[in-house]
Every structure is written in structure tokens, then in C-alpha cells.
Amino acid sequence: MALITWNAEGVAAWAQRSGQHAVMVQSMRGFVDAGKVGRLVCAHLLDLGSPVRVATFDVDELLDYRSRRPEMTFSVNEWTAYEEPDLAIDMVMDAEQTPYLLLHGVEPDIRWEGYISAVMEAVRRLGVGLTVAAHGIPMGVPHTRPLSSTIHGTRHDLLPDTPSFFGTVQVPASAQALLEYRLGQAGHDAVTAAVHVPYYVAQSALPAAAQHALTQIEALTGLSLRPEGLDEDAAAARQEIDRQMAESEEVQAIVAALEVQYEQVATARAEGLPLDGPIPTADELGAEFEKFLAQQRRDLPPND
């Protein structure tokens, strides 16, 4: 059974508007997305871009419903709604009406290699020259300092000249990460922006981190994606974080400790000195903050 179904009208519309070496942005709801960066980026791009469906994946073949159950709505004495999971490729427009592709939806739980083969088919058929992804990863950084990110990809000359927080580490795989790896093996260009989200707000939506991701995508692709459209949401989220922080002296002390660590790391990097201690140090600094937010955490706007 084919995992991908093509929309003839969408493919024709893409062929008329696109050129060679087109861009495809992927934004998945899946394994790691601290601050809900991927979800916020995807929602923003769809709102900005007048999406036209190009292809749809067979979610029934890719999703483990028992591990990630979609939600249904029960009203009085009947089922009234079902949040049907989807995974698709849309043609969308940036702020300058430049077309690009958006691969979005639920990250596959199973049949990863089959899914990746279907995406590779789409990359070839649609003339994609660069695939870009963005998501959030939890880090021991304070929300009171500028956001940063780790940029990784299939070729070093695709990447900006920025320092990395990581050496060599082993982490659990994801379909999104494996797709980047397989694209590189096949000679296709792919880059991911992993935004460093303060671990103590990793479970809540952080629009400022999504803005940072959008800025990185713009720099990597030349697209115009209007990250300033999230200014109001980012300000509201910051106010809520500050309100929660003001309610606890312990929390204030922990954030202050993270700020000291941040400045030490920034100074060491600027002077070319070796870093003193592992990065991040969330486990040492964060136990009380995690306990605090577990009791008081609420989703920050915009909601899912």
C-alpha cells in the first residue's frame, strides 16, 4: 500500500509556481519539541501562507494510536468531534508570495523507513533542493537572556559559523532526525534549527522561541516569514513567566544561578577559553523549579 497520495491539482499548482532547488520546511508534532516551537512555527506558516494540499500520507499506516491517542469530544449523550491526525505536504507562500513546501503533521511512530522513502520520492518529484526543520530542545538556560540554537545539517558549508553546545552524544532517534540523516546519505541538503528552550518552561508554549526559529529559517532559506507576527503572544508569555517567577524566592534564586552560568559560558566563548563544567546543568539547578512549575504550570498563549 502506498504511504503517500498525490493531489493532482496541488502538484500542478506547485509546478506552475516553483522553480528548481525549492525549499521544503518540515514541522512535526512528535518526540522532542520543547516550548512547542514546531507547533507554533507550523501554525504561523499556515496562517501566513494560503496552503494548497500537494500530498497526503496514510496516517493509519504510520501512527500508533494506543501510544498517542487523538482526542474526541463527548457532549451530553453523543460524540460530537474527533481531532483527526494528519500528515501532509502543502504548498504555502511566504510574505513576498514566494512558494515553498511545508511538511507537517504527526511524526510517524512506525514504518519510519517506508515514510522516509515516501518523503524522498516527494523531494525528487517536487524538485526540493533544501529541507529545513525547526523544533525546541530543553536546555539549562535562563529565559532572561537572548535565545540561542544549535544548527545542524547534512553538509558543514550549509551551516552558520556559530559555536556548538554539544560534542558527541547518543540520543533516542526520531523520524525527523532519521529523515535528515537519510537525506544526507542520498546527497540531499537538509538543515535543522534546534532552539534552546529554558527547561523550566519546556512544557508550555514559548512564542519567543518560535520567533527565533522563524528567524533561523529565514536566514537559511531566504524566505520572508514575518516572525514579528508573534510579538503579542511572546510578550504575553513572558509576562506569565515573570508572574510565576515573582511568586517564589526559590525560583528567583535558580534563575539567578542560570544567569550566572550563562554569563560565564558567554565570557569563556568570547575569550576562547575552555568551558568549566558540563552544559547544561539543569539537573543540578532545576529540581525545585521543576517541582514549583509542576504544581503551578499552565499553558501559555497561544494554546494548542
DSSP string, 153-220: ESSGGGS-S---S--S------HHHHHHHHHHHTT-EEEEEEEEEEGGGTTS--HHHHHHHHHHHHHH
Tell me what pLDDT residue 262 has. 82
- Between the alpha carbon of residue 157 and those of residues 4, 95, 190, 195, 254, the distances in Å are 32, 27, 11, 20, 38
**49-60 pLDDT tens trace:** 899 999 999 999
Q: What is the pLDDT of residue 113?
A: 96
SS3 34: helix
Examine the pLDDT at 229 and tell me if it is beyond 50.
yes
Span(s) in the chain for CATH 3.40.50.10900: 4-229
Q: Give residue 284's identity as a one-letter amino acid code.
A: E
As a residue count, the chain comes to 304
Cα-only R_g, the chain: 20
> What whole-number distance in Å separates Cα of residue 261 and Cα of residue 64?
41
Q: Tell which residue, 108, 110, 134, has the closest CA to residue 24.
A: 134
Summarised one tens digit per residue, pLDDT across range 64-75 is 999 889 999 999
User: What is the reported pTM?
Assistant: 0.85
> What are the beta bridge partners of residue 191?
132, 153
Report the CATH fold assignment for 4-229: Rossmann fold (3.40.50)
148-174 pLDDT tens trace: 999 999 998 888 877 666 667 788 889
Of 97-106, 148-157, 249-258, minimum mean pLDDT range: 249-258
Phi, psi of 295 (to 5 degrees): -85, -35
Q: State the average pLDDT for the chain.
A: 86
